[in-house]
Structure formats: structure tokens, C-alpha cells
Structure 1
């Protein structure tokens, strides 16, 4: 496309979890909980008090992420820098969807990602994890987008299944 930025391909995975929407929202909105359920992921740097709009996070993900955060980078690890841009709490009684939106600032991934938490009833909700992210380069997006989407979808499915198992133990 000439003169215009092409939109990133949207990858979306959803899962019904056995908890009220506000509980699931607390887990997906707060990036400090993500290493507990997102596959091979570690929070890099200070955690802060979060989550609040404007908070900045860096997550390291990949097979090289180990127990020692000082040795994680440099071993098949993707560093994902993000800024929280939107936080809207869900309400089961008002049938209001909770939303979290993050802006990805590289160095490998650019674009947006987020979670929608859809109340179903007092004991269940649907968590939707979406990503509109793309590789920063140097290869053309026509080549990398389909491969990145495939890898991302698998990563997201496994991670949401882990979240559902974790939340079912706490239900």
C-alpha cells in the first residue's frame, strides 16, 4: 500500500472460564499475573502497582525464558514492550464487557493487543484474547504475517487453557 499503513492481521482466541467476570478481568488486566498463565513468559523489570492506563511493561517470552531473569534475554526470547492504553472493568449485573488494550512498542512486535471479558452469569465469563500485532521487520509483512499469526494463535490457545485451569482451581 502506498502512503498508508496496512492494518495488522487480527488473531483472536476465546475461552469460557468458570469464574465471575471481575475475577477473570483482574487476571488478564494485570500484566503482573501473566507469567503465571502465559506460556514461557517472564515480566522484565519492576512490576509497579498497576494496572493503570499509561503503565509500561516489558515481557520476555520464548523457550529461552528460564527461572533466572538475568539470563533470559539473548536465548530465543522475544522482548515485548507494551503500554496500557485502556482499562474498563466488566459488570455482570449491567452486562458490561471488560476491556484491556495494550500498545506494543517493539523491538520485535508492533501493534495492539488486548483482552475482552464478557460476563455470562455469576459463575462464568468468556475471555477473548486478541492481537493485532506484526513483526517490526526486516522481512516484508506479506511473508511474516501468516507465519506470525499461526504461531501466535497456538501460543494464545495454550495460554488461555492454562488460565482456565488455574481459575477453575480458585473457583
Structure 2
């Protein structure tokens, strides 16, 4: 059985190396992913093999509890506009609620524009049928991913 993949993309008005720096570093994610907080926030950049936890929920920024999403970075390959190579940052989701894999592909369009492709193959941990819950999780993820990439694009436009 193939995993259910959800994928959303957006062209952002920055070079590929800048886009990659934003999506590959979990410390920047709370700035563009709604209702999300990195806990605890690491002081140094993370790389392959490092584990981190994102906590999501409507009151997370006011100190209310949320849903933890533990992840381990499994891949980090920088893009190159000159060489025409795609960058990739990937994680393995380790629960306790979500399991699977996710990541960002960073595709250079030209010197000043980049397509960010956010993909997830995630499902709820637990006893329920995986295929059915992958589709439900995918619907929720797709909306959140669209909103997040929109916010990231606006943030990057203001930084130019």
C-alpha cells in the first residue's frame, strides 16, 4: 500500500538558498505556520539526525497545551540555482499523534524566484485504519499548508 501524499507548492520571490534557509530550519517555522510553536526552541541550527518537537493548537502562544509532533531530520540537501539542483529537507514524524514523513523541496525557478513544494505522508497513530485516517489528515494538512506557504511568501516579500 502506497502512502497518501499531500503536496502544496508556491513560488516565492527569493533565491533558492534563501527559501531553503527558511524551510530547512525548524526555528523559523512558527513564523509562518499558524498555531505552531517549537518546544523547546534550540539555540543552534538543527541538521540530519537531530530531533525536535512542534506543538500546535489554538492557544499555544498563550501558554495553553497543544498537540506535540516529534520529528527527526532525515535529509538536508541544499539547492543550487547555478547547477539546477533541487534542495530537500525531510523529517520522520514520530508521534505521539502523527506518524509518517514530511518535507520541503526547494526548486530554483530563476535567480530571484523559487518554488517551494511542501509534502507530507502523515497519518494518525493509533488503532484506526491507516488509509482512512491518511485521507482525513491530508484534508486538514492541505489547508494548513496552503495558509502557511501564503504567509511565508508574504513574509519573504516584505524582507526583500
Residue correspondences, number: 160
Matches within 5 A, 1:24-63: 24-63=19-58
TM-score for the superposition, normalised by structure 1: 0.89
Structure 1: 5+ residue stretches without partners: 1-5
The answer to whether 1:123 aligns with 2:112 is yes
Choose 1 or 2 for highest CA Rg. 1
The answer to whether 1:66 aligns with 2:61 is yes
Find the residue that maps to 2:62 and give its secondary structure.
coil
- Which residue is 1:135 aligned to? 124
Matches within 5 A, 1:78-97: 78-97=67-86
CA distance in 1, matches of 2:131, 2:77: 34
Structure 2: 5+ residue stretches without partners: none
Q: Give CA-to-partner distance per residue, 1:55-80, whole Å, 9 cap, x none.
A: 11000112131233xxx32xxx3210
CA contact (8 A) 1:8 1:134 kept: no
TM-score for the superposition, normalised by structure 2: 0.95
RMSD: 1.2
Structure 1: 4+ residue segments shifted above 3 A: none
CA distance in 1, matches of 2:126, 2:2: 15
- Which residue is 2:87 aligned to? 98
Q: Which one of the candidate residues 146, 153, 160 is aligned to 1:164?
A: 153
